[in-house]
Structure 1
Amino acid sequence: MLRRLVLATALAFGTVVAAPVFAQAAAAPAAAEQAPVQIVQGIADQLASAIEGHRDELKRNQDKLISIIDEVFLPHFDIDYASILVLGQHAREATPDQRERFAKAFYNSITHRYAEGLLNYSRGRVKVLPFNGDLNDKRTMVRTQVVLDDGKLVSIDYAFRKGRNGDWKAYDVVIEGISYVTNYRNQVDAEVRKVGIEQLIKNLETQGEKALETMAKDNKDAK
């Protein structure tokens, strides 16, 4: 379960699309007003505030749980850029409509697969490390550690890029050295070669997390 907490906390940065807002979740400050480390700390705090005291209700209503993820993470994630990175070379083959559908379907699959893990999230689980990047650069990393029940620390790094208007948004998550974008790009690449991009999107739209599990299994078996 703690492994799912780690993944849920990290992968909530995955491809994001708007959803109804849970009333108890605090509104997120505009990303343009914050440095990357402030964004990550704010997300950790908002997540704890939204979940604490509501676990029983959220366990019964996953839609509200997923809406918290949208409310907390959506303002700070570069949707278009992340989905293009996950599609890799196939992004050039996809139509604008296919890229949009892929982003939405992939996000829905990810959140439904890992949302339950966030019910174990509590304040203090995530330690945001001091920021050593240069805000004059266009890309930087924010390093954090997730504290497990046994006291062990799992390193999670968030990759950010600065937009043309100067705002910082995340586009990748690196868990113990493994890139979320790279991991899923390999799986998506194998699946597109197997069934084609349109069928992949349809599988994600109709099968959701089951399609993700199939992709992961096929990718593992092929190695």
Structure 2
Amino acid sequence: MLRTLGLAFALLLGVVATLPARADTATPDQVVQSIADDLGKAIDGHQAELKSDHDKLIKIIDGILLPRFDIDYASILVLGQYARTSTPEQRTRFAKAFYNSIAHRYAEGLLNYTRGRVRVLPTKGELSDKRTIVRTEVVLDDGKTLAVDYAFRKTKDAEWKAYDVIIEGISYITNYRNQVGAEIQKSSLDALITRLETRGEKTLETMEHDQKGSQ
């Protein structure tokens, strides 16, 4: 699951990197298909270099992801009920710390991406003016396929931005909302933000471990 989410996150990085500024230049599924092809070309031959230079990999991710990923909206969804009682400063700090932690956690997933491993499926029904889901299949090493969907929303500036990854029907937003909620209940939102800011991906690993232990 971790490797697959890394791969899904990697494709998301490529998808959001070149989404058109206006929604009428290309549909989201057309963009995903073209980027799925282009991403493989860009990564091939550079895996060893990027694997040995994690800082460079993170800089690449930041340059690609931040302009087109709706981290503020995604973070509000992850906070769930706690978003209503948080301050604007807390939400801003959480969004930045959570994004940085996710980027570091799944950075090497970008290196697992190879051409032909993602199939973009036809869109079902009419595209919404505000939201849409891009459905894909990821081909695993053993030849089996995994359903990976990407949720997009259109901002007030008419830009399509990605905010969620759904693997086999499981949303990363929902998954982390449960983990974040449990952590806040054990301590506080401020304490969680501080841990994310100082320990980053290690905090995510602890949260995931605790959730598995409680199941």
Task: Quickly name the TM-score band, shorter chain normalised.
Answer: 0.7 to 0.9
1:166 aligned residue: 158
Q: Do the aligned partners of 1:105 and 1:204 also contact (CA within 8 Å) in 2?
A: yes
Task: Kindly tell me the number of residue pairs found equivalent between the two proteins.
Answer: 210
Distance 1:62 1:76 in 2: 22
Q: Do the aligned partners of 2:146 and 2:167 also contact (CA within 8 Å) in 1?
A: yes
How do residues 173-212 of structure 1 correspond to structure 2 at under 5 angstroms?
173-212=165-204
Q: CA deviation at 1:29?
A: 4.9
SS in 2 for 1:146: strand
For structure 2, the 5+ residue unaligned runs are none
RMSD of aligned residue pairs (Cα, Å): 2.2
2:42 aligned residue: 50
Aligned mate of 2:81, from 89, 93, 107: 89
Aligned mate of 1:117, from 109, 114, 123: 109
1:142 aligned residue: 134
Distance 2:50 2:9 in 1: 19
SS in 2 for 1:144: strand
Distance 1:222 1:128 in 2: 35
- What is the one-letter code of the residue matched to 1:35? T
For structure 1, the 5+ residue unaligned runs are 17-26
Q: CA deviation at 1:144?
A: 0.3
> Which TM-score applies when normalising by structure 2?
0.87
2:20 aligned residue: 30
Quick check: 208-217 or 126-135, which moved more? 126-135
Distance 1:109 1:217 in 2: 16
Q: CA deviation at 1:78?
A: 1.6
Q: Do the aligned partners of 2:70 and 2:163 also contact (CA within 8 Å) in 1?
A: yes
1:59 aligned residue: 51
> Which TM-score applies when normalising by structure 1?
0.85
Q: CA deviation at 1:45?
A: 3.3
Aligned mate of 2:208, from 196, 202, 216: 216
CA distance 1:72–1:43, change in 2 (3 Å): farther
Distance 1:89 1:53 in 2: 45
Q: CA deviation at 1:12?
A: 4.8
What is the CA deviation profile of residues 6-52 of structure 1, one whole-angstrom value per residue up to 9, with x for unaligned ones? 211223588x9xxxxxxxxxx72534233211332244234323311
- What is the one-letter code of the residue matched to 1:7? L
SS in 1 for 2:122: coil
SS in 2 for 1:142: strand
Q: Do the aligned partners of 2:9 and 2:110 also contact (CA within 8 Å) in 1?
A: no
Distance 1:167 1:220 in 2: 37
Q: Do the aligned partners of 1:126 and 1:144 also contact (CA within 8 Å) in 2?
A: yes
- What is the one-letter code of the residue matched to 1:74? L
